[in-house]
Amino acid sequence: MELEPRSLEDFVAERGKRLLRRAWMLTGDDGHAEDLLQTALAKCWGRYHAMDDATFEAYLRTTMHRTYISWWRKLSWRSEVPTMSPPGGEARTGDAEIGLDLRRALMGLSRPQRSAIVLHHLDDIPVKEVAKILGMPVGTVKTHLRRGINALRNSEHLTQEVAA
């Protein structure tokens, strides 16, 4: 019994919304998120059949992050203002309002802090791997993580009012 060949279209149909939300968390803009995901897919598509879906998704996420880093180094987006609505509707974080507040708070971080936090805390990548992906020393990544987490703790988007 021979298995049906997998197609990249099926992979994108199944996991595309999640990948697009991840791209949006990095860029903060619908159009840039789509561009980032499409660019990463274009860079990776030739390797799709050499990997299983989970490995390919990890490879694609790494390529997205590296592409985003190269874009921010070119400073091509500095003059554009990100939107606060993610593509494909609300992320399924349990509470849509908390999810939107988290995304707003993430957009308040510097790009290196946001990249480090998304990679380490949302993609569950170890700090050493994050350092390799971002092309930074481990200590610098730890600094971005610590400062980013502190900024999130103090973010006006994530503060909760306590009822008396």
CATH number at residue 134: 1.10.10.10
Do 61 and 134 fall into the same domain?
no
Domain for residue 127, yes or no?
yes
pLDDT on residue 29: 81
pLDDT band at 99 (very low <50, low <70, confident <90, very high): low
Mean pLDDT of the region 10-22: 90
pTM of the model: 0.59
Q: Which has the closest alpha carbon to 72: 134, 149, 155, 141?
A: 134
Do 133 and 148 fall into the same domain?
yes
pLDDT digits (tens, 9 = 90+) for 41-94: 999 988 888 888 889 998 998 899 889 888 766 654 455 555 555 555 544 444
Do 77 and 38 fall into the same domain?
yes
Query: 134 near 65, Cβ under 8 Å?
Result: yes
pLDDT digits (tens, 9 = 90+) for 108-156: 888 889 889 988 888 888 999 999 888 889 999 999 999 999 988 888 8
pLDDT on residue 63: 92
Q: Which has the closest alpha carbon to 120: 104, 103, 108, 138?
A: 138
Do 63 and 99 fall into the same domain?
no
Exposed e or buried b for every residue in 60-76, given b needs 16+ CB within 10 A? bbbbbbbbbbebbeeee
For 142, the token pair is 């730890």
Do 78 and 147 fall into the same domain?
no
Domain for residue 74, yes or no?
yes
On the question of pLDDT at 164 being above 70, the answer is: no
On the question of pLDDT at 16 being above 60, the answer is: yes
Do 1 and 66 fall into the same domain?
yes
Alpha carbon 92 to its chain centroid, in Å, reads: 15
Do 51 and 30 fall into the same domain?
yes
Domain for residue 163, yes or no?
no
User: How many domains, in total, are found in the chain?
Assistant: 2
Do 10 and 52 fall into the same domain?
yes
For 146, the token pair is 């610590």
Mean pLDDT of the region 23-29: 84
- Which residues form the domain of 3? 1-89
Domain for residue 164, yes or no?
no
